[in-house]
Amino acid sequence: MTKKFKGGNAINNSFEVPPNPKKMTYGAEELLVSILMCYPEVTAVNFDPLNQVLKFTFIVNSILTNKEKTKIKQLMLDSINVFNSLRSNRTRLINIIYQSSDNLTIIELQRDMETIVQGEIAVVMGLFQHCLKTSLVTEDNIPVIEEELAIQEKKINYLLESVKKTTRDKYLFAFREKGQVLVFDK
């Protein structure tokens, strides 16, 4: 999958943790690209630097009933809270928003940058796959090799920590289009 930033700059898919991470900073752009590369069930990712919120967008190829929405929301909230309590961590923001359009349901999960970690993202992805199975719209990808997935997850963890330590003023929006990951700033 090709990754491009606004202006057409391609992103290198390889990643190594630098010897001294403080000397090298990775941007929020690379974090959003990595999330989309690693998790095909995520349709788009936004980063709101003003509120320090990461927003994940998922698409379901049917209209979910209110009962299904409530069940999924409660499962997500409970799972995220349990995950964070095991880490002795309190979340500042967990929000799930549903929108229906035509025969689709759009789900947006909002999480604060301060407390989110890669392990939580992996749990959420697993829950969405479990709850929505074949109705979750995903990118047609070649199956990811287990070792590649582990490398991508380490990269996401590193980038999350890096972005938490930096300040940004640009709102970022990343999405997939025809096999490419595009990132735009607002």
pLDDT tens track for 139-159: 776 566 778 888 888 999 999
Place of tokens 């995220």: 80
- Calculated CA dihedral for residues 67, 69, 73, 75, nearest 10 degrees: 60
- Percent with pLDDT over 70 in the chain: 84
Which pLDDT value is given to residue 48? 93
Q: Say how far apart CA 95 and CA 117 lie, in whole Å.
A: 16
CB 165 within 8 A of CB 113: no
Q: Say how far apart CA 170 and CA 56 lie, in whole Å.
A: 17
What are 36's two structure tokens? 């989309």
Average pLDDT on 178-183 reads 87
- Percent with pLDDT over 90 in the chain: 58
Can you give the residue range of the structural domain that contains 110? 2-185
Cα–Cα distance list, 120 to 83, 85, 116, 178, 181 (Å):
7, 12, 7, 28, 22
Q: How confident is the model at residue 134 (pLDDT cuts 50, 70, 90)?
A: confident
Q: How confident is the model at residue 90 (pLDDT cuts 50, 70, 90)?
A: confident
Q: How many independent structural domains does the chain possess?
A: 1
Give the tens place of pLDDT for each residue, 7-61: 433 344 443 444 443 333 358 899 999 999 889 899 999 999 889 999 999 999 9
Kind of pairing, strands 180-185 and 2-5? parallel
* 104 vs 20 pLDDT, higher one: 104
> What is the model's pTM?
0.82
Assign residue 39 the CATH number of its domain.
3.30.70.1710
Which of 7-11, 78-82, 113-117 has the least mean pLDDT?
7-11
Mean pLDDT of the chain: 84
Rounded to 5 degrees, φ, ψ at 136 are -80, 125
Which pLDDT value is given to residue 44? 97
Which pLDDT value is given to residue 157? 92
